[in-house]
Amino acid sequence: MTDPGGAPIPAPIAAVRPRRLHSPFGDRIDPYYWLRDDTREDPQVLAHLAAENAYRRAMMAPIADLEARVFAEIVARLPRSDASVPYFKRGYWYYDRFDPDAEHPVFLRRRGSMDAPEETMLDANQLAAGHDYFQIGAAEVSPDGRWLAYCEDTVGRRQYRLRIRDLSTGVTLPTVIEDVETDLAWAGDDRTLLYVAKDPETLLGVFVRKHRVGTDPRDDALVFEQTDHRFYTGVSTSKSERFLFIHMESTVSSEWRYARADDPALEFRMFLPHERDHEYQVEHAGDDFLVRSNWNAPNFRILRVPVEASADRASWCEVVPHREDAFVHDFEPFASFVAVSLRTGALRRIEIVPSAPPGAEGGRPAPFLVDAEESAFTMDFGDNPAVDTDLLRYTYSSPTTPRTTYDLDVRRETRTLLKRDEIAGGFDPARYQAELDFVTAADGARIPVTVVRRRDTPLDGTAPLLLYAYGAYGACIDPTFSVSRLSLLDRGFVHAIAHVRGGQEMGRAWYDAGRARHKRHSFTDFIDVTRALVARGVAAPDRVVAMGGSAGGLLVGAVANLAPALYRAIIAQVPFVDVVTTMLDESIPLTTNEYDEWGNPAVREDYEYLLSYSPYDNVGAQAYPAMLVTTGLWDSQVQYFEPVKWVAKLRAMKTDRNPLLLHVEMDAGHGGKPGRFEHFRDTAMEFAFAIDSVGR
């Protein structure tokens, strides 16, 4: 990537302004700390970001046509208009639709029948007009169907604004509640709404407040205040709509409180106080609560708990037992069965666990797994608001099968196809092949790997490879369909996902083996997968591109320091790379409630471990691959200055002449551009960089 004259374009170099950063175990010198601007208004910082963006555009100018073609290909595969599968709740059919070429959805409903007149609840395209960024974060209808509460973000910082619309008139009330989370819960009186307000400094949701429609938000009563900032706090309504919940989750513990939805006072009672290493979630079913819990069950189990005796664990009755070979991820309660989302063999499946009717002879029928046709796939729950039904709505996807929605009749074990996402442009799944394989790590662990390619792509050691991973928070990168990925596969790329430790694909132990003082396993697993795929002829040794975002950006940032020679290029999306500085700063969002994920730098052993792999702190005088780094100025999850400082330090220290590019999205945050089509502009940029890097 050079200018038309052939000479390298000079990169902007951030000024070195050393600053001493204090910690309990020694000071560090940070030469680029000045690039941190919490106001996002410092002229020097903004000028530096503008220079970086200009440099990135200039360096990628020779492949601008390629980037435009990739974007056009992706967008051409999307249907011009689209609609979700309707679901029935409280007398209405609800669905959303994308009108032709629209960037944002329209939220719709019909009373009683899909033949009834269509009612527009909310048109996000109209609301987005005049905003550089717009995103709907939540939309909840009151039980009587009159009021719609919705949350909107016009910055990208996830500081949502709560609004309420009268669906009987189509008028949005003047009420505006700033800086809220997207969790909303209507009480049974149809006029009281629970929401979670953020702390303006940390941006954590800590204040649960109660708003009555039509009143001044300044009078909203405080229902609960979270004083322990290790916990994320949310609110929700039970599926039965008989209870409201306040729930608090940290990395290793949970606490839930409940109130009856028809209680005018909304008096919340404790389900079970939080205790370390006990995580649980509560749902209501019949006369009891159903609880997903890891009490004496590392991979979780499901228990039936009397509503009035939740603290008496002797009264808890097991519904779905703990299994060593399956991780209980989630569940949906129904009158005659429980649908369980299981992770087994690294894949997310659904098991149906029937309930035995009272007095039935022979006990309940045997549980069964929902059928799957492929070796790499993902199942998930769809919209299931009804309890007294034999139908389970679920979705199925694989790297070669677009997202498909089914209704499963659990009594007859038959299913009805409701929708398969349309892929325009002559997509033929038979041209592609996907499989789940395993790679043995250096320490003997078996790492799952999902590999997808065109069937005519040879496995003779010549193909380029894009290898992706995340590996944190127990989050799983499931093998699902990607409409954008086809632009790589059709150019001869192999695409692979390394399901490294730190995720939860292989159960809770897989997560524990990749967090805190075991975090390095995530990095070495990725390296071991890279070497194995090259050794097997899946990829050319000099044509491997690594990609990861957020915590996955930390992963590829660490890998860049540990094994740079393995990769032709690295794409780090909104990467968490300044680990020690961030974890020492309790004013930054997500810091205090993530000590159990990464470690507490106030503890010497944790501090030294974090410092040993932090990508920013371990940049060295060595050759690095070509690198594209992205960030958003308004990112609240990983502050923009982490990747900006990292790039500045890399520029100063690296010994190679490979491209090092930084793209700063000035009008967005952690999720990048919003919009059905515009969202793929960053993808096209990243794919063009990858394609050009391997000489495809």
Whole-number Å distance between alpha carbons of 506 and 182? 30
> Is residue 262 among the annotated active site residues?
no
Residue 69, by phi and psi: left (phi above 0), alpha (psi -120 to 50) or beta? alpha
Whole-number Å distance between alpha carbons of 304 and 289? 6
Three-state DSSP class for 644? Answer: helix
DSSP category for residue 263: -
The residue annotated as part of the active site, out of 355, 398, 522, 550, is: 550
> Is residue 635 among the annotated active site residues?
yes
The residue annotated as part of the active site, out of 670, 682, 692, 693, is: 670
State the alpha helices, DSSP H only, in 118-271: 124-128
> Which is it for strands 87-89 and 82-83: parallel, antiparallel or unpaired?
unpaired
Strand order in the sheet with 660-665: 432-440, 446-454, 494-498, 465-468, 544-549, 569-573, 626-632, 660-665
Backbone angles phi, psi at 73, to 5 degrees: -60, -45
The residue annotated as part of the active site, out of 635, 636, 692, 693, is: 635
| Location of structure tokens 């149809």 | 190
Contact between 605 and 645 under an 8 Å Cβ cutoff? The reply is no
| Location of structure tokens 């959805």 | 105
State the alpha helices, DSSP H only, in 478-566: 486-489, 508-512, 520-535, 551-562
> Is residue 460 among the annotated active site residues?
no
Per-residue b or e along 210-246, where b marks 16 or more CB atoms closer than 10 Å to that residue's CB: bbebeeeeeebeebbebeebbbbbbbbbbbebebbbb
DSSP category for residue 99: P
Instruction: Determine which helix (DSSP H) or strand (DSSP E) holds 400, and give its type and residue range.
Output: none
Residues known to be catalytic: 550, 635, 670
